[in-house]
Amino acid sequence: MEKYTLIITEKPSAAQRIAQALDQKGKPTKVEEKNVPYFLAKRDKPLVVVSALGHLYTVVHVGKGRNYYPVFNFKWAPRYLAEKSAGQSRLWIEVVSKLADNAEEFIDACDYDIEGSLIGYCLLRYACENKQDVAKRMRFSTLTKKELEKAYSEPLPKLDFGLIEAGRTRHEVDWLYGINISRALTLAAKRWSGKYATLSSGRVQGPTLKFLVDREKSIRSFVPTPYWSIGATVDIEGTTYEAEYEKTTLKRRADAEAVVKTCKGKAGKIETIEKNRTQQKPPIPFDLGALQTEAYSLFRYTPRKTSSIAERLYLGALISYPRTSSQKLPSVIDYKAILKGLSKERAYKRLASELLKVDELKPREGAKEDPAHPAVYPTGNLPERSLSNPEKRIWDLVARRFMAVFGEPAVKQSIKATLNVNEHRFHLRGRRVLKEGWMEFYKPYVRTEEVLLPPLKEGEIIQLKKVLCEDKFTKPLPRYNPSSLLRKMEEDGIGTKATRADTIETLYNRKYIAEERMVVTDLGFDIIDVLHRYCPGVISVELTRELEEKMERIQTGSEEREKVLFEAVEGLKPMLEELKQSEAVIGEVLSNAIKRSRIHERLVGECPTCHTGKLMVLYSRKTRKRFIGCTNYFKHLCQTSFPLPQRGTVKPLHKPCKGCGWPTLIVKTKGRRPWTLCFNEDCPKKEERRKRLEMQMLQQRGKK
């Protein structure tokens, strides 16, 4: 085979799209070797486009055994040597190495960020035998044909070694923290109890869990304080309107009751009417964090799910690269070309056409800038395949946000009428949108609620319809949810835009937290307690933020990788010594926490028969089949039991059935959507379902 240029991408779908864009006929030849796909294309010269499969190389321990710490010796090696589940990576590396043998030029076309740069560098250095110094770099923010052709014809002359060094350092420091702290915790529990359970913490995971523990402690220790408020309504021409009392809170019940007594059944006079017009500027473009926050608010998608969907849309050339912290849209992306593309979609035709009439389009932008990529925007391409509902939603959200940033400010009017009732003042408030402006483009995602008041005049007499005193209590701060925790991590400089969602997911997987409104488990509390006592640096926000800043300095060349690694090791040594000296105490604490956590996972609710035991997911000693039984079952004190599906996984929801109030479980079976199980045979909902099915069967028979 003649010599060719080898182009390395991050994922197979990106390889296919790049090959199609660069092939002069748009029809590259797909080849599979050892189930690894690559593409042959022809342009000014022969091209071979092959992908990585994410990270094919990782940091591994130099040494034998896993049952000891500290470990500070490491090297970069193929993932299949470190992870049993990464066996496929061996074939991938073998194919890339073979293709590199006959290549005369090398181009890195992985995503242009820290992770993508590191993936390309590792393949070029290890699989291609030190081609990292001669390789060129394609830089692009979308996988559109036009941008890919430009990136190929105008490549960067060399790799971005600042990004690469920052990426290497981040992985190495995270490995040093993660393997040592996780081994210390896991081994302490195993040596005390004799049972293995995966425990972990690290440079980002520790401070993130501490945020949650601190909030949980403040909630549990919060002492509600009573206060009183006045609720009132007025009658205007037969219609009831809410009226706010001038003081939102009253600290004494007597004061509140005195207001009710003075005003009840009375009429008041309108003293003043204030009207205000305000302009609401358009929203700013999405960075990844803002997109994740908005998707959670609108669709309840976790940050990780949103990131995954956005990645698929990027690989489908529908949106720009999503892992960006930029809130800016440079004019070089060609706003009008994107709008012309969107106008071919019926849902956007009218809106895009309106913007295309504007002589000069100027987006409203935010302050944050990312040197690698602009804010997230639609490419103007239309889907080449049928999108799933989640993909449609995120694409629609990005497209409408892009159009909204070019809109005019919205104009809103607020009205406050002050009603004097025996020298007590109540406020009637109205609000409405006078001019939609950008809001027209961002429907249906605009959050605005109009309250229309009837025409009012100063001096007008209005009758109070109802006045009452409401007993209330102060409330603690709410628990974090995935979206608000992500924002907290961003604000405090913890983690990166690419890793924060995965960190949150890990906390769930380790059973440190549970539920959407994040409740910290006993295990989560004990992990933070141990770390706080013996190695507080691991949960220090300041230390983690300082390390993040050092990574950025490595990227700009003002900090050396070796120095950061040395400081990380020196900082870890005393922490690990503390953990080792207190291993027995730590092991007992963590083992008991793990035991409680496992019991809680199987706990369903109170036994409805004996009322002294608890219903749990149990396993038969004879058949090993699972069932719901009372904890008194094996003591022969209670025979209450219920059958369970034997396939898939079952997990108590700790929520009552809406039909009967019994506990419920969620059942997850491969190839089927998760479903909620109420095991009460007499549940009214089950009876309704039976009748509905019988009715459907009768209707079908009638048709026949």
Which whole number is the average pLDDT over 457-480?
94
Residue with tokens 């006993």: 522
* Rg of the chain over all Cα atoms, to the nearest angstrom: 31
Quick one: pLDDT band at residue 371, thresholds 50, 70, 90?
confident
Residue 704 has pLDDT above 60, yes or no: no
Residue 548 has pLDDT above 90, yes or no: no
Whole-angstrom CA distances from 234 to 92, 246, 260, 269, 466 are 73, 15, 14, 12, 7
Q: What is the pLDDT of residue 525?
A: 95
131, β-bridge pairs: none
Alpha carbons within 13 A on the beta-carbon side of 279: 7
CB 203 within 8 A of CB 544: yes
Average pLDDT of the chain to the nearest whole number? 93
Q: What is the pLDDT of residue 633?
A: 80
454 DSSP 8-state letter: P
Quick one: pLDDT band at residue 703, thresholds 50, 70, 90?
low
Q: For the chain, how many helices (H) and strands (E)?
A: 20, 23
User: 3-state SS of the chain: helix, strand, coil percent to 5?
Assistant: 40, 20, 35
Which whole number is the average pLDDT over 529-558?
89
* Cα–Cα distance measured from residue 46 to residue 44, given in angstroms and rounded to the nearest whole number: 7
Window from 53-57, 376-380, 443-447, 689-693 with minimum mean pLDDT: 689-693
Cis amide leading into 70 (omega within 30): yes
pLDDT for 628-657, tens place per residue? 999 888 788 888 888 998 888 888 888 888
Q: What is the pLDDT of residue 356?
A: 96
Quick one: pLDDT band at residue 2, thresholds 50, 70, 90?
confident
pLDDT for 225-251, tens place per residue? 999 999 999 999 889 999 999 999 999
Which whole number is the average pLDDT over 203-216?
95
Q: What share of the chain in percent tops pLDDT 90?
A: 76
Catalytic residue among 80, 321, 348, 377: 321
Q: Residue 493 region, left (φ>0) first, then alpha (ψ -120 to 50), else beta?
A: left
Residue with tokens 């409104």: 517
321 is catalytic: yes
Which whole number is the average pLDDT over 279-285?
97
Higher pLDDT among residues 682 and 250, named by residue: 250
Q: Which domains does the chain have, with CATH numbers?
A: 4-159 (3.40.50.140), 194-220+479-594 (1.10.460.10), 226-282+410-473 (2.70.20.10), 289-404 (1.10.290.10), 602-692 (no CATH)
pLDDT for 73-97, tens place per residue? 999 999 999 888 899 999 999 999 9
Dihedral of alpha carbons 569, 575, 577, 579, sign: negative
Residue 15 has pLDDT above 80, yes or no: yes
514, β-bridge pairs: 519
Which whole number is the average pLDDT over 124-152?
96
